[in-house]
Structure 1
Amino acid sequence: MSFQAPHPSSFISPEVLAVIRDNAPEAEGLGQLHPAQLALVYQQQWFKLLVPKAYGGLETSLPDLVRLQEAISWADGSFGWVITLCCGAGWFGGFMEPVVAQQIYSTPGLCLAGSGAVSGTAELIDGYYKLNGTWKYASGAYHATHFTANCLIKENGETVSGPDGEPLVLPFIIDRKDVSLLPTWKYIGMIATGSHSFEMQDVVIRANRSFHIDAGYAKVDTKLYQYPFLQLAEATLAVNLSGMALHFVDLCKDVFEERIKLPKLTDGQRTLLRELLQSTTDELQFTRDGLFKAVDVSWEKPLNNCANELRAVTKTSRQLAITSRSAVDKLYPYCGLIAAAPDTEINRVWRDIHTAGQHALLTFVE
C-alpha cells in the first residue's frame, strides 16, 4: 500500500480551527496573536511542544510534530509560524544546564522568541558575559518571556576561537526584561507574527545562560535532542509553507466553483480550471508524501547510521517549500480580483506564503 499523507484537517479539531481562523483577521490588525488564539496556545501547550518532559514539556517526536505544525499553519499562516518558531526555541532546553532550564521552563506563560543570526557579541568577564547587539526577525516577540540570541564570544577585546579554530559563537537565553524591542516588522505578510527586532546593551548574565546546540552537548538523553537541528528546522519550516498552500488550494476550490458558473467562460476554460486545480493538488500531495515519509524514516533509523536519510529530509523539505510556492502561483492568476483584495482570507494566505517563503533555509533545492 502506497504512503499518503492525510490532509491537515485530520490533526486539528473543528473547534480549534474556528478559534484560530475566526480571530486571524483581527490578529493581523493587532500585529500579534489575538488573545483568544494565545489562550488556545497555552491550553494546548503548543509553545512547549519541543520542551523536554523533564521540564514539563511535551517532547513531541518529529513525525508527530511536522504533521501538527502543518495543520496549525493550514489553519493560519502567521499563527502557525509563531508556534513553529517559538516552540522550536523550546527545543534548546535539551542543551541548557538543568538548573537554568528548570528555572526558564517553569515560567508562567512561557514563550521563547529569538534569532539565529550572529549579530551580537558576548564579552567574557569573570565568569559572566556582557551582551551587546541587535537581532532581526524574532517571531512572537510580543508574547516572549525569554529571548535566545547567537553571539560572537570575546575576551579582553579579542575574538575567542572554538575547538575547530573558528571564531566561537554561542547561543544565550535572556530574560524579557533585559531586551528592548524595535518595531521593524513591516512586510506585506505574516503580519500577526510580530517578528520584530530586539537589542541588548551591556546586559550582564551568568555564563550558564549559554549553551551548545550539538548532540554531544545535550543535557537530556533522549532522541529528540540527538536529532540534527538543521533537518529539524528544514522540515518544520517546510510544512508551514505546505500548510499555507493547502489553505490556499481549499479557498481556490470555492473561488473556482463560482467562476465556472460564469456564462462568459467557454467549456475549454472551465476544463482548464478543473484540471489545473486537480494537477496542482496532486503535485502538492506527492511532494508532501515525500517529506513526511523522509522524516518518518530518518526518525526510525539509528542516528549514527542515518546520513542518507537526513539528506533526504533536507532535499524533500526544500522541494516541498518550492512546490508550495509554485502551487499558489499557478492558481492565483485564475482567482480574480478577490485574491488581490487585502481584506480577504485568500489574499492574506497569498501574502503570508510569499513572505514566509523568503526564509533562507527554504530557497534552494540544493
Structure 2
Amino acid sequence: MNYPLLFDQEVVHQIRRRTVQMDKTGTMPADVLEIIYQRSLFKCFMPNASTGRMTPLPEVLRVFEDASRIDGNFGWVVTIGSKAGYLAAYVEPHRLQEIYDGRDALLAGSGFTSGSAKRVPGGYELSGSWKYCSGSDHATLFTFNSEVPVEDNPTVTEIRTFILRPTQVTITKDWDAFGLRATGSHSVTVENQFVEADMTFIMFNTNQKVLGDIYSYPYKVLSETSFAAIAIGIARHLIDEAKAIAEENREAWESSHLNRYEFVMDRIERKQETLEEAILNFYHTVDSNWTRHIEGADIAREEWDLVSKTCRTAARVALDCGHALFPFLGTSVVLEHNVINCVYRDLHTACQNALLVPFDEEELTQVK
C-alpha cells in the first residue's frame, strides 16, 4: 500500500484546520471522520475477506505515526479504531459481518476489568461502569471486560469480554482531559443489559481463531508499539509547529535579541536529531521483531522486553521535545487557541499512558 496517498497535503491541511476546533469542542467533525471511513483506517487489522485491509504491523505503525503527526486526536482515534480489529480472532465467525462490515464500524471500550456479570439463559446480564472508552462518541459497538464465575466451578472466575450495542449503554461525557480532547474517551455505564452468549468471548484462550500474523502477536506489545507511534507522530508535529513559529518571528526575535532566532532553531534541530535517532531505533527494533514473529521464531522474553523498553524510550524522547522546546517559543504559545499549545498538551496526554511510562529509575536515567 502506498500510504503517502492516504494523507496528501490537501488532507493534512483539511484536518489541521480543525485542530483548535476539535480541542475546543471536544468532538471530531464529520468531515474528519469521513476521511477515516473513506480510507478504511479502522480496518487495518481486519482480514481482507472480512471487508478489512489487513496490514503488517510495521506498516500500520507508520500509518498511526503519520495520522498522529497530522493531529493527535485524529491519530489516537485511528489507532484505537484499528486495534479493535484484533478482537476478530476471538469473535464468533457468524458475528464478524455484523460487528465489522460497516464502513464506519468502530468498537469503543475499555481494557479495564470492571462491573459484574452473571449467567442467564442464552447469555449474560452485565452491569458496571468503564472509564476512558476512546471513540465512544461515534462507536457502532462497545466492548467491556468483566469477571464471571466459571460455569462448572462457580468459586472460580474468568475474565470475559462483552460486546454491546449503543442502545444498551449510557455515555457520561466526562473526558475533560488536558489534551486529546476530541477522542471521546468518556466513561460508559451499563445497567442490567442482556448480552447474547455469542457476543462474548475470552481473549487469549487456547481456542483462539487465528486469522493472520497480527493475532498471534502479544496484545500488550501491540498496544505499546501503537501508542509509541502516536507519541512519535505528535512530537514530529510539535517540531513542525516550532519551526514555523521560529520562522514567523525571526525578524522580531533578531531585532530584540541578537541570538534568539539562532538559539531556538539550533535547539529545535538538536531535539529533532535526537528524536529521529529514537524513531530509527524504534522501527529497527519493531521491524526486526515482527520479521522473526512471522517467520515463527521462538522469541525469548528478553526480546519482547526489549521491544517494550524501546517503545518507552521513544515516547520519553518524544515528550522531551515538548519540554525542551515549548518554553523558548514565546508567550503566545501558552494560549489554548494556539495550535502548538494543543499539540503540546496532546503529546503529554498520549505519553501519560502507563504502557509508555518507565517505572524504573535506571531506565529513566538512560532515557535522559
| TM norm structure 1 | 0.90
**CA displacement at 1:282 relative to structure 2:** 0.7
- SS of 2:182's equivalent in the other structure is helix
Segment of structure 1 superposing worse, 306-315 or 247-256? 306-315
Residue number among 317, 320, 330 corresponding to 2:314 in the alignment: 320
Residue number among 269, 282, 287 corresponding to 2:273 in the alignment: 282
Is 1:153 aligned to residue 143 of structure 2?
Answer: no
What letter matches 1:214 in structure 2? F
Do the aligned partners of residues 339 and 216 (structure 1) sit closer, same or farther apart at CA in structure 2, a change above 3 Å counting? farther
Segment of structure 1 superposing worse, 185-194 or 13-22? 13-22
Is 1:264 aligned to residue 256 of structure 2?
Answer: yes
Q: Which ranges of structure 1 fall in alignment gaps of 5 or more residues?
A: 1-7, 162-166
Is 1:135 aligned to residue 121 of structure 2?
Answer: no
Residue number among 85, 94, 98 corresponding to 1:99 in the alignment: 94
Matched-pair identity in %: 31
Alignment match, 2:113 = 118
- SS of 1:70's equivalent in the other structure is helix
Do the aligned partners of residues 318 and 303 (structure 1) sit closer, same or farther apart at CA in structure 2, a change above 3 Å counting? farther
Structure 1 vs Structure 2 CA RMSD:
2.1
Distance in 2, matches of 1:27 and 1:264, equals 35
Distance in 1, matches of 2:95 and 2:22, equals 33
Do the aligned partners of residues 160 and 288 (structure 1) sit closer, same or farther apart at CA in structure 2, a change above 3 Å counting? farther
Distance in 2, matches of 1:328 and 1:66, equals 22
**CA displacement at 1:270 relative to structure 2:** 4.2
- SS of 1:315's equivalent in the other structure is helix
Alignment match, 1:342 = 336
- SS of 1:292's equivalent in the other structure is helix
**CA displacement at 1:98 relative to structure 2:** 0.5
Do the aligned partners of residues 118 and 137 (structure 1) sit closer, same or farther apart at CA in structure 2, a change above 3 Å counting? same
Residue number among 295, 313, 325 corresponding to 2:286 in the alignment: 295
**Does structure 2 conserve the Cα–Cα contact (< 8 Å) formed by 1:127 and 1:207?**
yes
**Does structure 2 conserve the Cα–Cα contact (< 8 Å) formed by 1:183 and 1:197?**
yes
**CA displacement at 1:17 relative to structure 2:** 1.2
- SS of 1:253's equivalent in the other structure is helix
The C-alpha deviation readout for 1:228-275, integer Å capped at 9, x for no partner, is 1011100001111111111000111122234443222133x4443232
Alignment match, 2:352 = 358
Do the aligned partners of residues 329 and 43 (structure 1) sit closer, same or farther apart at CA in structure 2, a change above 3 Å counting? same
The C-alpha deviation readout for 1:285-320, integer Å capped at 9, x for no partner, is 011111111111111113541234322221111111
Residue number among 131, 152, 176 corresponding to 1:186 in the alignment: 176
Distance in 2, matches of 1:274 and 1:350, equals 18
Do the aligned partners of residues 215 and 264 (structure 1) sit closer, same or farther apart at CA in structure 2, a change above 3 Å counting? farther
| TM norm structure 2 | 0.90
Alignment match, 1:86 = 81
Do the aligned partners of residues 349 and 276 (structure 1) sit closer, same or farther apart at CA in structure 2, a change above 3 Å counting? same
What letter matches 1:295 in structure 2? V
Residue number among 56, 73, 82 corresponding to 1:61 in the alignment: 56
Q: Which ranges of structure 2 fall in alignment gaps of 5 or more residues?
A: 361-368
What letter matches 1:264 in structure 2? S
**Does structure 1 conserve the Cα–Cα contact (< 8 Å) formed by 2:221 and 2:304?**
yes
Superposed, 1:228-247 pairs within 5 Å as 228-247=218-237
The C-alpha deviation readout for 1:185-208, integer Å capped at 9, x for no partner, is 111211111211101111111222
Is 1:12 aligned to residue 7 of structure 2?
Answer: yes
Is 1:225 aligned to residue 222 of structure 2?
Answer: no
**Does structure 2 conserve the Cα–Cα contact (< 8 Å) formed by 1:52 and 1:94?**
no
Alignment match, 2:191 = 201
Alignment match, 1:306 = 299
- SS of 1:57's equivalent in the other structure is coil
**Does structure 2 conserve the Cα–Cα contact (< 8 Å) formed by 1:295 and 1:313?**
yes
What letter matches 1:182 in structure 2? T
Distance in 2, matches of 1:159 and 1:326, equals 49
**CA displacement at 1:139 relative to structure 2:** 1.0
Distance in 2, matches of 1:259 and 1:42, equals 38
Residue number among 51, 67, 71 corresponding to 2:66 in the alignment: 71
Distance in 2, matches of 1:143 and 1:236, equals 21
What letter matches 1:305 in structure 2? D
**Does structure 2 conserve the Cα–Cα contact (< 8 Å) formed by 1:318 and 1:364?**
yes
Alignment match, 1:173 = 163
Distance in 1, matches of 2:6 and 2:225, equals 17
Distance in 1, matches of 2:322 and 2:83, equals 26
Distance in 2, matches of 1:365 and 1:259, equals 39
Segment of structure 1 superposing worse, 337-346 or 65-74? 337-346
